[in-house]
Amino acid sequence: MKFKVDIKRDGNGIPHITAVTEEELYFSFGYAHAMDRGMEMIFMKTLGQGRLSEQFQTSDANLAIDTFFRKMNWMGEKESDKQLTSGTANLLEMYTAGINAAFEKKLPWELKLLPYTHEPWRVRDSQLLIRILGYVSLSQAQDELERFFIEMVQAGVPDGKLEDLFPGLLEGYDRDLIEKVSLNERMVPNVDLWNVVPRLMASNSWVLSGKKTQSGKPILSNDIHLECNRIPAIWYEIVFDLNGRSAMGGTMPGIPGLLVGRTSDLAWGVTYSFMDTVDSWVEQCKDGAYYRKHEGWIHFRKREEVIKGKKGTSVTVTFYENDHGILDGDPNIEGYYLSTRWSGADSGAVSLNMIPGLLEAETVDQGMDLLGRLESTWSWVLADKGGNIGFQMSGLMPKRRKGIRGIVPLAGWDKNNDWDGFIDYKKLPRIKNPKQGFFVTANNDLNEYGKAKPIPEAMGPYRAERIQELLEEKDDFTCEDMKRIQSDLYSNQASRFMEILIPLLPETKQGRILKEWDKTYSLDSKGAYLFEQFYRELLLYVFGDLGFGRRAVEYLHTETGTFISFYHCFDRVLLKRQSPWFGGSTRDQVFRQVAEKALKVEPKPWKAGQKFVIKHILFGDTPLKILGFNRGPYYLPGGRSTVRQGQIYRSGNRDTTFSPAFRMIIDFQEESIHTNMPGGPSEHRFSRWYDTDIRNWLKGIYKTIIPKPEEKTHPFP
């Protein structure tokens, strides 16, 4: 079935869809996604299916990626797919039909540069992308933290140091058992996922009630921090008009929903919550693929996957599964291995049922009810035209036995260690109309707002604290104030460390620069550069030289997200006066010793290490880059704990970034959204809409999106 497609671009190239029925709307939605971002969609689908070797290029790197995604087993139909309502299923079919209509008209020309064989889009492909969005680099970070814990135990880190690093989180810890575990995949798998999958980790969002704004209406702000050194941009902006009712905001191609944005009645923004939705169990295996269970010895379920390559080549990989998840190892070899489960492994259907309702919801209560039911883990802030504001966490939080927080792997044969379903979303952290008149989420610990405590370790409190401080300064905020806060470069983390460090600094040029530093990460700041030299050496000395080895910490620091995602674990130790990690010295002695060594470098401006290039997801590092797919170089202000986060680091042998990939401000006195992002609507290199907004993104200049643009419109695509 095909519908008339009524799509026009505004002056920024953003598509505006006008439809009379929901079916027309979703058909046009799919059509727009495929016409502007079809290559990106096909690439992500192929990735999640574990078919890069078959559809793109046969290589050892692609085989490793394919093996990872075949292990996750997200490409097939799931029992949970039956939970789709008939109404949602119909809209998904319309969205899928729109995608395929676009592909029938014109396949992305970039795919002609690859040995790709086209296949029609299916409903399950959108569900697959939801699983990728919910797991890779988000829930996966929790899995990495648990493996990091195991590797520290096996490296001989004493129990006292472990408790100091993870206070109150080690209930159920059995050192003897963990030392027996054989890890097939170490903390960081040898899979270069970050070359192809955007990292989604840190974000800021806050919402103010009318008593804190100049207009007397709520204002919602959201800046979502993702990998920004890739093109096309991760986000795709769109505007809907369904029988005169408008909606606008950010989407992700291949997923049929307005993930952040607004209608005339309701606005919503998002950050990652750091809920722990991944657990591992220790399985005792023997006698050819049997594992120990409380009632005896049980046979694993065996799954074989054939990964096809070009020219008729293929590789067969075997996975062993039980109710605890997928085994990390070969149970035919007697021993102890981990089985790992993600609570969202079968997700998609329930989340898709909730998404269409957001376009009809009118109140914060209705929005919290819809968003709270989503299966992946997020922190949502909301506002409505009636003046209400709210916060709701979503995600499938496992019910664990009392005291268990998910960090420590437990014995798989003890039934008391099994999950007992999932926590009701109404017990997750949530609040409506807080007394202070605003609410902030920035990947910080939000456990205090729920009956359940889903976050064992958050990213850190610094960004949330800084935003909170700025929002307490006055009661007449405007959109312009929100823009300034989103661009704030002051580091509360640096301030906390500098309180200790300033009296200990040497009387040198470097010491004087740090004493006078304003704790901001502007591109010309030499203080930021020197502080980061000190901070890096402090990590290497305390957790490397005095801990589990400098080379190990160097690798974790430069090639993984461990110190990116969970730096607060380490800061908590470093800021204590005494710790078993200090090797018998006091904190001040450690700081002074590290400063004397680290601050011998010649001071440079912060920009010296903040250079990056925005690279094409397929051709950015290939000979085809001569066609002009890449953009840059540019320089990124900010640091790990500034509101405007600006991290550049190595991951999987390449540079990656954390920075605001989509900024959005919504003031309910207007029918508009103020946004910017590092890219444009189109993925096509020779489109006029390929790289729009990049320079404005760097400068913090926002465009204003309105339901019916007054400026000249442009034909689509």
Band (115; pLDDT cuts 50, 70, 90) = confident
Asked, for residue 425, whether it belongs to a domain, the answer is: no
Between residues 229 and 449, the one the model is more confident about: 449
Reply yes or no on whether the pLDDT at 288 is more than 70. yes
- What is the model's pLDDT at position 654? 65
Average pLDDT of every residue of the chain: 92
Is 291 part of a structural domain of the chain?
A: yes
Q: pLDDT exceeding 90 applies to what percent of the chain?
A: 76
- Is the residue at 424 inside a domain? no
- The 3-state secondary structure of 371-407, one letter per residue: HHCCCCCEEEEEEECCCCEEEEEECCCECCCCCCCCC
Do residues 454 and 393 make contact, with C-beta atoms less than 8 angstroms apart? yes
- In the predicted structure, residue 193 carries a pLDDT above the cut 60: no
Mean pLDDT of 310-336: 92
Tens-digit pLDDT profile for residues 144-165: 888 889 999 999 999 999 999 9
Q: pTM to 2 decimals?
A: 0.94
> Tens digits of per-residue pLDDT, 326-360?
999 999 999 999 999 999 888 778 888 998 999 99
Is 637 among the domain residues?
no
**Own/partner long-range contacts of 536-544 (Cβ < 8 Å, ≥24 apart):** 536/598, 537/594, 537/597, 537/598, 538/574, 538/590, 538/591, 538/594, 538/598, 539/563, 539/570, 539/574, 541/590, 541/593, 541/594, 542/573, 542/574, 542/581, 542/582, 542/590, 543/570, 543/581
pLDDT beyond 50 at 194: no
| Number of domains, the chain | 2
Structural domain contains residue 77: no
- pLDDT band, residue 709 (cuts 50/70/90): confident
Supply the pLDDT for residue 489: 98
Asked whether residue 50 is domain-assigned, the answer is no
pLDDT score of 201: 59
Question: Of the residues 578, 608, 638, which one is the last residue of a structural domain?
Answer: 608
pLDDT at 205 over 60: yes
Express each pLDDT in 667-706 by its tens digit: 999 999 999 999 999 999 999 999 999 999 999 999 999 9
**Comparing 202-206, 505-509, 652-656, which segment has the lowest mean pLDDT?**
652-656
Alpha helices, DSSP H, located in 618-693? none
| Domain, as residue range, for 544 | 492-608
Look at residues 605, 601, 462 and name the one whose alpha carbon lies nearest to residue 536. 601
468 falls within a domain: no
Looking at residue 181, the DSSP 8-state letter turns out to be B
- Hey, what are 605's tokens? 């401006």
**CATH number for the domain including 296?**
2.30.120.10
pLDDT of residue 192: 44
Q: What torsion do the CA atoms of 622, 628, 631, 632 make, to the nearest 10 degrees?
A: 90
pLDDT of residue 186: 67
Read off the pLDDT band of 189 (50, 70, 90). very low
**pLDDT value at residue 141:** 75
Q: With 80 as the cut, is the pLDDT of residue 262 above it? A: yes
Query: How does residue 480 score in pLDDT terms, banded at 50, 70 and 90?
Result: very high
More confident of the two residues 60 and 289: 60
User: Band of the pLDDT at 82, cuts 50, 70, 90?
Assistant: confident
Residue 78 pLDDT: 67
Q: For residue 1, what pLDDT is reported?
A: 63
* pLDDT interval class at 402 (50, 70, 90): very high
pLDDT band at 445 (very low <50, low <70, confident <90, very high): very high
- Name the least confident of 60-69, 396-405, 504-513: 60-69
> Of 608, 643, 674, which residue constitutes the final position of a domain?
608
User: CATH code at 545?
Assistant: 1.10.1400
Over range 82-102, report the average pLDDT: 93
The per-residue pLDDT for range 534-584, each reduced to its tens digit, is 999 999 999 999 998 898 888 888 777 778 888 999 999 999 999 999 999
pLDDT exceeds 50 at position 227: yes
Q: Examine the pLDDT at 188 and tell me if it is beyond 60.
A: no
pLDDT score at 322: 93
Is residue 482 in a domain?
A: no
* Residue 414, CB-side half-sphere exposure with 13 Å CA sphere: 10
pLDDT at 557 (0 to 100) = 80
Checking 357-364 for CB contacts under 8 A at 24+ apart, the result is 358/257, 358/258, 358/263, 358/266, 358/268, 359/240, 359/242, 359/245, 359/247, 359/258, 359/263, 361/263, 361/265, 361/266, 362/265, 362/266, 363/265, 363/266, 363/388, 364/266, 364/388, 364/389, 364/390, 364/432
Query: Of 608, 629, 657, which residue is a domain's last?
Result: 608
CA-angle at 132, arms to 269 and 645, nearest 5°:
45
